[in-house]
Structure 1
Amino acid sequence: MAWVVRGEFRKLWIGQLVSASGSAVTRVALPLVAVVTLQASALEMGVLSALSIAPHLLFGLHAGVWVDRWPLRRVLIWTDLGALVLLGSVPAAAALGWLRIEQLYVVGVLTGLMALLSDTASQTMIPSLVPREDLMRANSAALLNYNLAGTLGPSAAGLLVQVLTAPFAILVDAASYVVSIVSACLIREPERPPARPRSEVRLSAGLRVLFGHPMLRPLVLSAAIAAMAGAMLGPLVVLFLVRELHQSAAFVGLNLTVFGAAAVAGTFVATAWCNRVGIGRCYLSGVFLAALNGVALFTGVTPVILLGSACAGLGMSLFGVPQRTLRQALAPEGLVGQVTSSWRTLVIGGQTVGAATSGVLATAFGIRPTLLIVTAGMLAGMLVAALSPLRGLRDLPEVARSVVRD
């Protein structure tokens, strides 16, 4: 996979790797600023968390329209610059004694919007920076950034918070955007087709592509269902391990590390596995492996729990790489941004519903039965794809050339 990180894509990849690593620090440091520095209440923490997600749900469809109309390199530069200023304001306000929870609310929602636009633009740019035959490897490399940051970032954040205090640990993320800005400035963006007239732009265009294509329709339904079920697991894992199984904090950390390491490993084998079994079966096998995590936790057996986390991490990469690649390859020219943002809106919306539902189900039925519900939900998502033409898809279909119009 390493050899595909070259040319103009290398510049994008380096910038995204550095900024993703910095963002992983902020995901830990920003809540700690609220809790430790500002003594935030549970209600205030809930509001801060919700505001960070809100832009993806409120502006997800709009982001695709904007990204498809604006120069992608410019989107990357301005969103990185915006994030740099916003995050830099936190340690500055802390040093002056002016920091308040309301400022964190503003930072949370605006950096969420910057991330939405930046992620949509970077995923939209990838197909124009690499040859079609390298698209899957490029997506593996892009997913590697996310997995590396998610695995190493929290540990680095804990150390930085301890050494620098939480507000000043955020400076690391702010500084990372300087590297990302420089990388984006160096990218020579290929010429894009002229944007459609405003009168022809519809927010629903990306959704109509997703639900109108015989391959993308089962893929997005499968991913949304599996994402909703999988998100139920997040709030329950630590609670189950600590309160019901009486595991130590060290084991909780080990479990997360195993998941992250397996996800990183998965990015290196995803392309080869797709080539061996086909794109459709690679996606199906990834969802199946991820679904095993709920059953593994249900057993309460320590080695099985760690094995389940490894399967989930590996599975996340095995289903993530083919679905990203299919989405980019099958989106009509000029609508890649809208298809990407529509996908993210549906999947993140599903995750939000799943996370909110998990507590209700765990209260009503208990945590152990809820773990089985999670597995059943993910397998239901897999079944949607397995009963569709996606199951037999081996190679990338021809690139769509026409633009969907009203």
Structure 2
Amino acid sequence: MPKTTGWRSSLRRSLWAVADYRNLWLSQTTSLFGTGITLLALPLVALLALDATPFEIGLLWAVEYLPILLVGLPAGVWVERLPMRAVMITADLIRAVALLAVPVALATDVLSMPLLYVVTFVIGLGTLFYDVAQLSILPTLVAQDRLVDANGKLELSRSVSQIGSPAVGGLMVQLLTAPLAVLADAVTYLSSAYYVLRVRKPAPVDRPAERNSLREDIREGMRFVFGHPLMRPLLLCATLAELASAIILALQVVFATEELSLSPAVIGVALAVGNGGGVVGALVAEPLARRFGTGVTFMVSIVLFTAGSAVLPISTGPVTFASGMFVAYLGAFIFNVLQVSLCQAVTPPNLLGRMNSVFRFATWGVIPLGAAGGGLLVGVIGLPGVFWLAAGLNALSFLPPLFSTIPKLRDVVHHDSETSLTGTVVDERHAYPEEPVAGPR
């Protein structure tokens, strides 16, 4: 009897007992698995049905990030001005309709690369708005002291989907053909919209009596991020790390094939082992932050993904390659959980959308630059040299938080607390300087 009581008490304390959070988690999880399937299925549609060239396939990948560069900053303002659940549901429905166009176009013999580019662009646009809204609504669904745990569970879904969705996608393409695999992804977006619909608690939005212009709202969001004593180093750190990650992810298969002479099967196993580090990172982020403090754990996460990336260029076979990827993913996912939680904790509710859009604009905006730049540099410094460059960028990402108050943080607490970060006094008056601070252009 005492065991049952303890089990029930533990369940009540668990985030899984929070219905709104559970539905948000289910929404993101189904959406992530579907997206993983599409990342494999859409290029295969282009290759098998349209005989696309490697350049066209690369362009298909790049187009998905184009919405971030075009509307990444305004997206945060629009998300704040609209009901966030409605934004997420609309984004899911738009992505589902876009994907449904692929099998329909194939069946009616009108499928073309321009149509696939449009579909990919719409998916990227929907993903941008969904993610900004999802990150902004989360702090309204869980208690402040559960943010790290909540983000850890969401990142765990991301890591598991990175491992499982390519395998599921490959099996679906094999059994159903690529167009039907795309159709299955459309169903996952519909499922995601259903779960968002079941989130009952609306996100409170503090709308001013007089609405500012779009430009002024964007400027206010950038002033907050670039003027905040924690946001600024977090953004610089995350942007450098994302640039390095883009280089590695774009060239990891090429490196494993040309430098290590690994077979496709061995490469698949090595990358699966690497992604396993992300699973571990998402699981241990919250316990480590609670045990050693948020700041120390955050700094250690940077050391981990830097060390992992430094192992890659000296890899001699599948074991060292997989080990480097494992350590890099371990650090990256601990970093993601804590960085997102810190940003959510110190941001007022009426600025969450803009804060998240500024981070998305900067960090996702450098992905095409890293992927393309890394590819161009291979001919100049070679694959190992490019991987050393990525490791160097990761090492540089350690500096912005090092020279801030982040290493001293103990816990993540609410933005309007007397001391915004336990053990470290942060004067919120410095979060809004007199003049706007120059940001990414």
Q: Do both proteins adopt the same fold according to a TM-score greater than 0.5, normalized to the shorter chain? A: yes
- Alignment CA distance shift 1:88-1:50 (3 Å): same
- Inter-partner Cα distance in structure 1 for 2:59 and 2:383: 25
Separation of aligned partners in 1, 2:259 and 2:38: 30
Secondary structure in structure 2 of the residue aligned to 1:388? coil
Following the alignment from structure 1 to structure 2, what is the Cα–Cα distance between the partners of residues 194 and 294?
43
Given that residues 139 and 321 in structure 1 are in contact (C-alpha distance below 8 angstroms), is that contact kept between their aligned partners in structure 2?
yes
AA matched with 1:297: L
Match of 1:103 among 106, 110, 115: 115
Is 1:298 matched up with 2:313? yes
Partner of 1:174: 186
Provide, for residues 74-94 of structure 1, a one-character-per-residue CA deviation record: whole Å limited to 9, x for no partner: 111111111111111111221
Q: How far apart are residue 405 of structure 1 and its match?
A: 9.7
CA distance in 2, matches of 1:100, 1:166: 15
Given that 2:144 and 2:413 are in contact with CA atoms closer than 8 Å, whether structure 1 keeps it comes out as no
Mapped to 1, the partners of 2:50 and 2:203 lie a distance apart of 48
Range with bigger deviation, 148-157 or 222-231: 222-231
Partner of 1:289: 304
Letter in 2 for 1:341: S
> Residues 191 and 360 of structure 1: is their aligned pair in 2 closer, same or farther, counting only changes over 3 Å?
closer
Checking the alignment, whether the CA contact within 8 Å between 2:37 and 2:166 is kept in structure 1 is yes
Q: Distance in 1 between matches of 2:222 and 2:266?
A: 42
State the 1:246 CA deviation: 1.0
Matched, 1:192 2:192: no
Aligned 1:310-389 pairs, distance under 5 A? 310-389=326-405
**Alpha-carbon displacement from aligned partner over 1:374-394 (angstroms, at most 9, x marks no partner):** 111101101221222111111
Q: Higher mean Cα deviation, 274-283 or 61-70?
A: 274-283
Q: In structure 2, how many angstroms separate the alpha carbons of the residues matched to 1:285 and 1:141?
A: 20
The residue type paired with residue 4 of structure 1 is: L
1:30 matched to 2:42? The reply is yes
Shift in Å, 1:398? 3.8
- Letter of the 2:344 partner, please give it: Q
How many angstroms apart in 2 are the aligned matches of 1:16 and 1:257? Answer: 21
Could you say which residue in structure 2 is the equivalent of 1:119? 131
Look up the match of 1:144.
Answer: 156
CA contact (8 A) 1:140 1:321 kept: yes
Conservation of the 8 A alpha-carbon contact between 2:80 and 2:205: no
Q: Are 1:120 and 1:340, in contact at CA under 8 Å, matched by a contact in 2? A: yes
> Deviations along 1:68-123, whole A, 9 cap, x unmatched?
11001111111111111111111122122221112111111111101100111111
**How far apart, in 2, do the equivalents of 1:178 and 1:349 lie?**
27
- Percent identical: 34
> Is 1:220 matched with 2:235?
yes
SS of 2:131 mapped into structure 1: helix
Paired AA for residue 389 in structure 1: T
Aligned residue among 129, 137, 142 for 1:130: 142
Q: Which letter does structure 2 place at the counterpart of 1:118? A: Y
* Contact kept in structure 2, 1:141 and 1:267, CA below 8 Å: yes
Deviation per CA, 1:220-257: give whole Å up to 9, x if none: 11111121122211222211211122111122101110
Say whether 1:251 aligns with 2:262: no
Q: What is aligned with 1:11?
A: 23
* RMSD of aligned Cα (Å): 1.9
**Counterpart AA for 1:358:** G
Q: Which of 343-352 and 58-67 deviates more?
A: 343-352
Question: Which secondary structure state, in structure 1, belongs to the residue aligned with residue 200 of structure 2?
Answer: coil
**Contact in 2 for aligned 1:230/1:374 (Cα 8 Å):** yes
- Whether the aligned pair in 2 keeps the contact of 1:278 and 1:393 (CA below 8 Å) is yes
Would you say 1:275 and 2:290 are equivalent positions? yes
Residue range with higher mean Cα deviation, 133-142 or 362-371: 362-371
The one of 237, 255, 280 equivalent to 2:252 is 237
Any conservation in 1 of the 2:144–2:414 contact (CA below 8 Å)? no
Contact 1:21 1:153 (C-alpha < 8 Å) held by counterparts: yes
Cα distance per residue 1:118-177 (max 9 Å; x no partner)? 111111110000001111111111111211111101111111111111111111111112
| Superposed CA offset, 1:185-207 (max 9, x none) | 11113351342333254212222
Q: Which residue of 2 aligns with 1:60?
A: 72
Distance in 2 (CA, whole Å) between partners of 1:195 and 1:54 is: 29
> Which region of structure 1 is more displaced relative to structure 2, 25-34 or 190-199?
190-199
Distance 1:333 1:404, change over 3 A: farther
Kept in 1: contact 2:89–2:196 (CA 8 A): yes
Query: Contact conserved, 1:120 with 1:337, CA < 8 A, in 2?
Result: yes
Assess if the C-alpha contact under 8 Å between 2:83 and 2:203 holds in 1: no
Evaluate the alpha carbon distance shift between residue 397 and residue 150 of structure 1 in structure 2; reply closer, same or farther with a 3 A threshold: same
Q: Distance in 2 between matches of 1:129 and 1:172?
A: 29
Cross-structure match for 1:161 = 173
Aligned residues: 406
Correspondence 1:396 to 2:409: no
CA contact (8 A) 1:26 1:170 kept: yes
Give distance in 2, aligned partners of 1:354 and 1:21: 25
Change (3 A) 1:102 1:169: same
User: For the pair shown, which has the larger CA radius of gyration, 1 or 2?
Assistant: 2
324-333 vs 186-195, which moves further: 186-195
Query: For residues 104 and 217 of structure 2, what CA distance do their matches in structure 1 show?
Result: 41
- Asked if the contact 1:84–1:175 (Cα under 8 Å) also holds between the matched residues in 2, the reply is yes
Q: State whether residues 283 and 320 of structure 1, in contact with CA within 8 Å, keep that contact through their aligned partners in structure 2.
A: no
Give unmatched runs, 5+ long, in structure 1.
none
Quick one: distance in 2 between partners of 1:354 and 1:84? 29
Q: Which runs of no fewer than 5 residues in structure 2 stay unpaired?
A: 1-9, 418-427, 435-441
In 2, Cα distance between the equivalents of 1:277 and 1:352? 36
| Aligned mates of 1:225, 1:232 — CA distance in 2 | 11
